[in-house]
A and B are shown apart, each in its own frame.
Chain A
């Protein structure tokens, strides 16, 4: 492997990884705070792609505004979903919450996917690019679009991180993820935190879908691949570890770029999974996982 190939792999791994981080973060957040293993997370990615398509290609908004619109759309849809489905389940069922909420998200995923298909049909809705042109980095041409997508992802992750660690609301989310009853004792409104958490997670997925629109056109079943990739990451770093997803996202991105370069398209899932399975054999709780035993019981 010569130097330019290494650069090639490194760059494409980083660009891939950045967006994986953005998607996986929402998944990890929802699991960490609400203990929901979300199977419908990919559907919010899909919704984001559609929102940005309509905002950019149909209503002619500026790309940044289109991506923000997709984020806002994801936020609202997430809030509706949480208020209607998950709150009803939470009120009714206390035992076996992890498994039941997982199955609930499976149902939601079917509903969202097929609603999209019923409303807009099965044709690919893509755009050629948000921004024109390309730049040369380390001897290879990278379209500005991909760089901008990466930039959007990183900026969102940064903003979200600041929100989580520096603001009072962000701190209350973290408090709930650490100790639910403790958080309730100090006067945190759990229902409000849950709704906010779920909406933010959906917003992050929506932004990712919008940022990748020029590479992956909007399509009703487009959510599955990003869903299981973000699950790779979340399992790899340990479930519910939001900070760890940043590193995990780049690892998975890099593994994929490597396998893509060496074996061609189609094998990346096999390779990244083998890597993950091997890691988990030695460290079952994930790379940075703590003992999350308690969570599984609920």
Chain B
């Protein structure tokens, strides 16, 4: 009797583990996310909470960016512009039509997805670098439009955006963006571990070979691009309602470069690497603020060094570490 009960418990816990695995969470990663969720209960410093929201936001952006660059090997160099489009769409819906931000951010995601889809169709038939440059150009155009269509966006003056929550507390924002982060992670991870993800990987590694073996490369590339842009729009919508003001600077190439650096330092092709890098780098840089330019020089150097010497980034480092630790375990399974 006892025996079967323990067995059942064991079975149940294994099943639980499998569900988690299937959603792409390791126990450690899940623990860290729960830790983040617990932070607002213990820390009341709004500044720290703001930092956590920023880290989660940029982490989510880096994950969406990695979905394109790490798998189909195309740098979406207009990523910040897609995010900015999402921000403006949701903000304008709220200010002009009085639509609730909770609906607005999903419309924003849809708008960014449609834009991504159209641009994808136009450029993704071409080779990787070309698509990257074209996405960058589109980003520049969108930024120009945001600063020139003053009637709509108020240009450089900035558009005032209604906040998502009344009151000055940051804790509800943490839970909202945490939910977005988890949603992003699960959707991206699910796609990658499915057959679609296999096609993405094949395309990223060798386009010619993938096409020869019957993968419709353009279709998958456009799909990937659309999904990645949708998340940029979603997070952009949240960004507007979190910060309360939107300027064309959100769409600037500088922001894309920042997301790109997080993604690469975190480790491309891992999805979670960017999130981890955001959590390490954004707070550290915030505390280094007095150093201003120096910290950005370090940022750039970090990117250069990772590119040359350690292309796997943080994710590869941690994976190797975990591998060695497993090796050191005393009760190793015998093969």
Chain A residues close to B by CB (< 8 Å): 37, 85, 88-89, 92-93, 96, 98-100, 102-104, 106-115, 117-118, 224, 228, 231-232, 235, 239, 266-267, 269-270, 273-274, 276-277, 280-281, 284, 293, 296-297
List of A residues within 8 angstroms of B311 by Cβ: 93, 100
List of B residues within 8 angstroms of A118 by Cβ:
292-294, 297
24 residue pairs bridging A and B, Cβ less than 8 Å apart = A37-B133, A85-B308, A99-B75, A102-B132, A103-B264, A103-B307, A104-B304, A106-B257, A107-B302, A110-B257, A111-B300, A111-B301, A111-B304, A112-B300, A114-B300, A231-B136, A235-B133, A235-B137, A239-B130, A266-B147, A266-B148, A269-B140, A269-B144, A281-B122
- Given the interface pairs A224-B253, A273-B137, A296-B127, the reply to whether A103 lies near B260 with Cβ below 8 Å is yes
Tell me the B residues contacting A by CB distance below 8 Å. Answer: 73, 75, 122, 125-130, 132-134, 136-138, 140-141, 144-145, 147-148, 207-208, 253, 257, 260-261, 264, 292-294, 296-297, 299-304, 307-309, 311
CA distance A290 to B204 in the complex (A): 24
- Give how many A-B residue pairs fall within 8 Å (CB-CB): 119
Give A173 Cβ to nearest chain B Cβ, in Å.
22
A110-B257, A273-B137 are contacts. A89–B307 as well, Cβ < 8 Å? yes
Q: Is the CB of A276 within 8 A of B300?
A: no
Interface of B is mostly: helix
Asked whether B296 lies within 8 Å of A114 as measured between CB atoms, the reply is: yes
Q: Are A98 and B129 in contact (CB under 8 A)?
A: yes
B144: contacting residue among A115, A239, A267, CB under 8 A: A267
Please judge, given known A-B contacts A92-B308, A107-B301, whether A270 and B148 are in contact too, CB under 8 Å. Answer: yes
Contacts of B136 in A (CB 8 A): 228, 231
How far, in whole Å, are A139 and B316 apart by their CA atoms in the complex? 66
Residues of A within 8 A of B296 (CB): 110, 113-114, 117
> A85-B304, A96-B73, A293-B127 known; 19 other A-B pairs, CB under 8 Å?
A88-B308, A88-B309, A99-B73, A99-B129, A103-B264, A103-B307, A104-B304, A110-B297, A111-B300, A111-B301, A114-B296, A114-B297, A118-B294, A228-B137, A269-B140, A270-B141, A270-B148, A273-B137, A284-B125
A270/B145 contact (C-beta < 8 A), A92-B309, A100-B311, A224-B253 known: yes
Task: For the complex, give the distance between the alpha carbons of A99 and B299 in Å.
Answer: 19
